[in-house]
Structure 1
């Protein structure tokens, strides 16, 4: 089974919601659409579900025009970020609702409901009322109601975004296990998120989306190691990858009069000229003999410290693996781990990666 989108476009006003969207998704796979707010993720999911019709382009499932299949006949289940349950019904009745609408035999309904509740870790909760559940448990009920339909395509639109951080961490791991099991049943699972960490942890294939376009589709590992543009590098990192302008000349990378270093091995062969260089926060630390930077902001996050630094026109964020205090305006010595340097052309295209060398 394969779901193929060809040149999907939707422009209801002055801006594209979908702009020439193309992809191919296969059964037994997990796909994560990652993008900032208003990137077009929800619009794309609703288009697949049949809730929105594109103005042009096609969507086919195993060669059949998906656009001609009515919503109620599509084997699609969807979980929204604002999870919806029926408060007057029990957990069992909530999950069983779509099956009762299909007038399935009671024995089959019970078997499916109990299996779905087990998948989401709600064994023994079938007789509880929705109002007696926590937010995380209610989200699991909504997920179980989508799984119980045993649909060919399961869509999840930022299902964890409205939960607290601790619960998101817990459910993220559980969801990955659930999705892996569901994908093995030859379903297509499509999950949307604004969180790069979430996207990478779920694994599978990643589609990076921005302003209605798919910028890159590849495995989580490939997108992380070889973002094909500066925009992808920003969307798929938290904090965003540090980008700064510079030139290559005489075997060196020159960022400013005080920031310059030897061209790293994987960048050897780059023609002389102007580039945009990139380093993730983890590749910038403090060390004697580094480059002089001024502290603009110090953020403590758990056991780590994010340092916002500035030197002339260069602004970067560094990551320290300990809790440290700094004064605003303090001068520090920052070290760049150039073995992890990225080079992009001035138009944003990836030119050299620490993992793949020259492009």
Structure 2
């Protein structure tokens, strides 16, 4: 049964934690809510679970007022960022605990526990205590306990955030399979990681400062970010956003020399715009506008070079490890066919061709 939120508002000490949040969560689909820290993601899950009230708005499940439904009747399971297991119980009993509380038969408990442990790759671990498990295995126990309950709503609050990168990547692949097989369950998964949101989600909700800024499929949100804020949140590193102008068939951006307007921008009116460009579409070159290196970050087999062109910061993502030092003067080249055009208020007016950026989305999902 679908879960519908309409204009949910919650303010604490004058700070908006939720602001007119409206969303529909459908059964059988995995919804990823992506946003930076303090975006309101955990607050939203707590409201859906009945652990937090709201100032105004409505929450319904198939027409029934869910806000007035007691927590114990909401048919909801929640997995937290910091995994929670009972240290004195073994793995089997940890997963079985809510099933016994629900009064299920011994045979049914056995079946559900073994099935859920197998689904998270923990078959054979039934007699171990949590202290005998790795962090990733303990998180899987928490997930298995939630899955075993067979609830109508499954909430996961950044369940991989406290794990190392490689383990997070492994579990993300496993979760994609696990959560795509939840039948009529509404699954909502929060994250700060764009790649995680893109890979896991059937539906992506972009959240910022208590508001949902955009909802759509991963492809829709990635190819057509509604605002500059969405474009920054949904890209890692955040999309480069900078001022520019279109004038007489030419475009000037961030001090770069005027060039012919790319075909996808050709019919836009002359005037001032904000432009966006992903870090992979800016490159170091022998000719281009000059800037100063302000920071260099090496991440695995990639290097992120932060460059200041006057007052405008750019991030360049390049393959491999490069000998670039702070203070170096480098030249940048932009790809005009990859420019996103936003108006002065930050609303998208023209994205690049979908054909060009579909490959980018595949690359993000594969990271």
* TM-score calculated relative to the size of structure 1: 0.96
Q: Secondary structure at the match of 1:145?
A: helix
- 2:303 and 2:319 in contact (8 A); partners too: yes
Query: Residues 299 and 259 (structure 1 numbering): CA distance in 2 closer, same or farther, change over 3 Å?
Result: farther
Query: Residues 350 and 258 (structure 1 numbering): CA distance in 2 closer, same or farther, change over 3 Å?
Result: closer
The runs of at least 4 aligned residues of structure 1 exceeding 4 Å deviation read none
Q: Secondary structure at the match of 1:17?
A: strand
Aligned-residue offset at 1:329 = 2.0
Aligned-residue offset at 1:257 = 4.8
Alignment of 1:333 onto 2:326: no
Q: Distance in 2 between matches of 1:257 and 1:233?
A: 22
- 1:233 and 1:240 in contact (8 A); partners too: yes
Query: Residues 310 and 128 (structure 1 numbering): CA distance in 2 closer, same or farther, change over 3 Å?
Result: same
Aligned-residue offset at 1:12 = 2.5
Alignment of 1:104 onto 2:104: yes
The correspondence of residues 60-99 of structure 1 with structure 2, limited to 5 A, is 60-99=60-99
Q: Which residue of 2 aligns with 1:351?
A: 349
Q: 1:282 aligns with which of 280, 283, 295?
A: 280
Q: Secondary structure at the match of 1:293?
A: strand
Aligned-residue offset at 1:287 = 2.2
Q: Distance in 2 between matches of 1:72 and 1:260?
A: 63
Q: 2:232 aligns with which of 231, 234, 241?
A: 234
Q: Which residue of 2 aligns with 1:259?
A: 257
- 2:4 and 2:23 in contact (8 A); partners too: yes
Q: Which residue of 2 aligns with 1:157?
A: 157
The correspondence of residues 301-312 of structure 1 with structure 2, limited to 5 A, is 301-312=299-310
Q: Distance in 2 between matches of 1:170 and 1:201?
A: 12
Q: Secondary structure at the match of 1:51?
A: coil
Query: Residues 336 and 269 (structure 1 numbering): CA distance in 2 closer, same or farther, change over 3 Å?
Result: same
Structure 1 unaligned blocks of 5 or more: none
Query: Residues 37 and 230 (structure 1 numbering): CA distance in 2 closer, same or farther, change over 3 Å?
Result: same
Aligned-residue offset at 1:288 = 2.6
Q: Which residue of 2 aligns with 1:148?
A: 148
Aligned-residue offset at 1:84 = 0.6
The correspondence of residues 186-197 of structure 1 with structure 2, limited to 5 A, is 186-197=184-195
Q: Which residue of 1 aligns with 2:364?
A: none
The correspondence of residues 16-27 of structure 1 with structure 2, limited to 5 A, is 16-27=16-27
Aligned-residue offset at 1:323 = 1.2
Query: Residues 127 and 348 (structure 1 numbering): CA distance in 2 closer, same or farther, change over 3 Å?
Result: same
Q: Distance in 2 between matches of 1:140 and 1:267?
A: 48
Q: Deviations over 1:99-140 (max 9, x none)?
A: 110111100011010110011110011111111111100000
Aligned-residue offset at 1:258 = 4.3
Query: Residues 348 and 130 (structure 1 numbering): CA distance in 2 closer, same or farther, change over 3 Å?
Result: same
* TM-score calculated relative to the size of structure 2: 0.94
Query: Residues 269 and 356 (structure 1 numbering): CA distance in 2 closer, same or farther, change over 3 Å?
Result: farther
Structure 2 unaligned blocks of 5 or more: 356-367
Q: Secondary structure at the match of 1:94?
A: helix
- 1:233 and 1:241 in contact (8 A); partners too: yes
- 2:290 and 2:330 in contact (8 A); partners too: yes
Q: Distance in 2 between matches of 1:262 and 1:230?
A: 23
- 1:283 and 1:337 in contact (8 A); partners too: yes
Q: CA RMSD in A?
A: 1.3
Alignment of 1:37 onto 2:37: yes
Aligned-residue offset at 1:260 = 2.8
More deviation, 106-115/173-182: 173-182
